[in-house]
Structure 1
């Protein structure tokens, strides 16, 4: 294949990857950071039950956004694999597989949201039973995202490694992404070890910076020509 044509195809693949990554970020922000707290009230399953009934349409928007996160996460993983597989096959497989595990973790959350909506609007007469069930599924949703942080961090390692090794994207981008992966792992372990660390949420800040940097670079520049 002509080198220029191959590079153009890679840039196209990189930009499609960036587009899916951007869609994942947008749906994640809307679903988890905007709509979630409107329905699911932490530590208050009774209020959550009321929201699921009185704001059912909003709850279903939350659910559909969770579907969108799952789909865009899966497609982002697949397109990253396509982008890097020719020169970094093992790392690309790792990136793709761990990205799919992220999608599976979020799918568990989606299943739990759908079940909670169904229970809240079911014919179960005892409110206490509904509240108890809502509490169970609310905890599953929270822990699917929380424990999912392990693989939210892990998939950043092969991504950052490929960036650094290939030099086809900024080397410091790869370093920030790996630092973000470390932050996700440490943050998740601290949370589930029961350690009270008020700055825990800041540990994932490098990941946020790195991922949005990656999205911007893929969409604007694509990928550099091989230096080999």
Structure 2
């Protein structure tokens, strides 16, 4: 495959991960809200929309499987710009995969507790519901920590976009700013858990990732000049300078 074809493939995979992310991380939680002060209500919400809850888990798994392919396709697109930086991007992105998949186990375990299996009859319902809420809290905490890796991979990625001239430089700036926003959110949630983070903090990452995805998929990358073309331009400049 050519560099341009890898860029288009990256855009397609990126779009699928974004759509799956919106479904599993935004839509499903909005339909099955977690009532942190009411374990019984949280459990009832899950049981009422159990199939949607299971679809959310499946969507999350598919998301991270696709996300494991994305940095490899991006590597083939941007490695000619800076191989070391492209490799760092891949390492940060792939490192997040096992953590995210293991974190989903908390949501699966919550379903197990609500399954009504005989071996759970020794527990009171309120005890089970409390355990479910604890598992969901553990999942939420895991997502907060994984934010670090979700942010770090955007830094070398954004740098590559900025330096390559294959895409608009503004996208590279937004991606690097997105890295900072992820780290700010993590540190704020950890150090000041009661503080409500303004929504605009998430804007750079969203604009950078969605913008880069759509640009790669629709517009593709600019064709980098070949060595021959570069030499011709250099020769022309020298001749013009001598005349």
Question: TM-score, normalization: structure 1?
Answer: 0.89
Q: Which residues in structure 2 correspond to 1:1-80 (within 5 Å)? A: 9-43=2-36, 44-80=38-74
Structure exhibiting the larger radius of gyration computed from Cα positions: 2
Aligned 8 A contact 1:179 1:207 in 2: yes
Residue 154 to residue 42, structure 1, CA distance change in 2 (3 Å): farther
Aligned 8 A contact 1:11 1:222 in 2: yes
Q: Quick one: distance in 1 between partners of 2:172 and 2:223?
A: 17
SS state at 2:166 partner: coil
1:168 paired residue number: 166
Deviation of 1:181 (Å): 0.9
**Any gaps of 5 or more consecutive residues in structure 2?**
231-243
Question: TM-score, normalization: structure 2?
Answer: 0.84
Q: Quick one: distance in 1 between partners of 2:205 and 2:176?
A: 8
1:107 paired residue number: 101
1:127 paired residue number: 125
Residue 69 to residue 197, structure 1, CA distance change in 2 (3 Å): same
CA offsets 1:89-138 (integer angstroms, 9 cap, x no match): 21111111211233333213321111111111142122133122212210
Regions of 4+ moved over 3 Å:
195-201
CA RMSD of superposed structures (Å):
1.9
Residue 89 to residue 218, structure 1, CA distance change in 2 (3 Å): same
How many pairs are equivalent? 221
SS state at 2:26 partner: helix
CA offsets 1:64-112 (integer angstroms, 9 cap, x no match): 1111221121121221122223442211111112112333332133211
Q: Quick one: distance in 2 between partners of 1:13 and 1:92?
A: 14
Q: Quick one: distance in 2 between partners of 1:52 and 1:195?
A: 26
2:236 paired residue number: none
Q: Quick one: distance in 1 between partners of 2:150 and 2:57?
A: 20
